[in-house]
Copies of this chain bind each other. A is one copy, B any other.
Amino acid sequence: MEVTIRRPDDFHVHFRRGRILRTVVPYTASWFKRALVMPNTDPPILSAKSAEKYQQEIASAARNRDFQPLMTIKIVQSTRPEWIPAARRAGVIAGKGYPTGVTTNAADGIRNFFSLRDVFAAMEEENMPLSLHGEQPGVFCLDREKAFLTTLEWLSRNFPRLRIVLEHITTRAAVSRVRALPDKVAATITAHHLVLTLDDVIGEKLRPHNFCLPVAKSPEDREAIRQAAVSGDPKFFFGSDSAPHPVADKERADGNPGLFTAPLTLPLLAQVFEEEGKLDRLKNFTSVFGALFYDLPANEGSLTLANEPAAVPYTIPYGTSYSSGFREAIVPFMAGKVLSWSVKDSNYLSARIPLSP
């Protein structure tokens, strides 16, 4: 069986900088025409100028010249309203807001959404979407996404023309609220949240390579996310949240959140959409609804997935020397597992497992 989709976009990805960036960008660029690049690097991308420089670094790491990184700036407590039109003129696509401390490099995040209302008004005026890590700090971990929905609702009510994306949703509550709010409010869904629950993180062993924020929730929550993804509702589209970390930053006393999913996003999505009997809706989820929401042109070209099994590599080294060994490597999500789908004519995830006779 094969399924051909319009060339897809990934509306949420972390590339980091430097050596890791040069290793991970080709995975995303080989399959996706465009990717919305998150600004929580160290140092962060706060302005048009740093976004332009970062965009060049990404573009030169992509082997295929037509890959288009879509840039964001980080909305922090000190962001000034006048930075918004400047960023928009420089081609920045969206502003990303992190409540303070909710994930990697978010210590400088937003402490008080109300105090930034002039920034949100400027974004509304400039027609620049607001992308949100939707978790409320200081709340019990499993309740943070739900607790943030009041902030989402406040933003939607007070800035009715502002386009808002609640990123990487993980709960039934978020699915319901996004559905209930006006059309300007949408949500991205990752591939990994379609398959993980909290059991995969803490159920038996502690599994850092299944640990991300927002953390995967209950089977009921996962079911709600899956049904939203395959629903055909244009409010829900794909953003991988692929977030590479060196294995040394994952397998440690204080392990970082984030999963490197770029090598397997599309095969995993195909597997899930097939399980749900909705393969015909994969194209809209990966290649249509996101571009519509962001008001971007439809991509040219296509990409074909086939239900031919492929193995996810155990590690992806990025060190400069073999002697640096295993600690200078990224362990991708589902490392060593076999997926039932793969991308045709791709250089990635091409170590096909022969079908048993």
Residues of A at the B interface (CB closer than 8 Å) are: 101-102, 140-142, 197-199, 201-209, 211, 213, 215, 218-219, 250-257, 331
Contacts and interface: CB of A to CB of B under 8 A. Distances in A.
A135 B280 CA distance: 41
Across the A-B interface, give the 3 residue pairs with the lowest CB-CB distance, nearest first: A206-B255, A205-B254, A141-B203
Most B Cβ at <10 Å: residue of A102, A141, A207, A218: A141
Contact of A206 (B142, B198, B208, B331): B208
A218 B140 contact: yes
A140 B253 contact: no
20 contacts: A140-B198, A140-B199, A141-B199, A141-B202, A141-B203, A142-B142, A142-B198, A201-B202, A201-B206, A205-B254, A206-B206, A206-B211, A206-B254, A206-B255, A206-B257, A207-B253, A207-B255, A208-B255, A209-B253, A251-B252
Contacts of A197: 140
Contacts of A203: 141
Contacts of A141: 198-199, 202-203
Given A141-B199, A202-B215, 5 more contacts: A140-B218, A201-B202, A202-B211, A206-B256, A251-B255
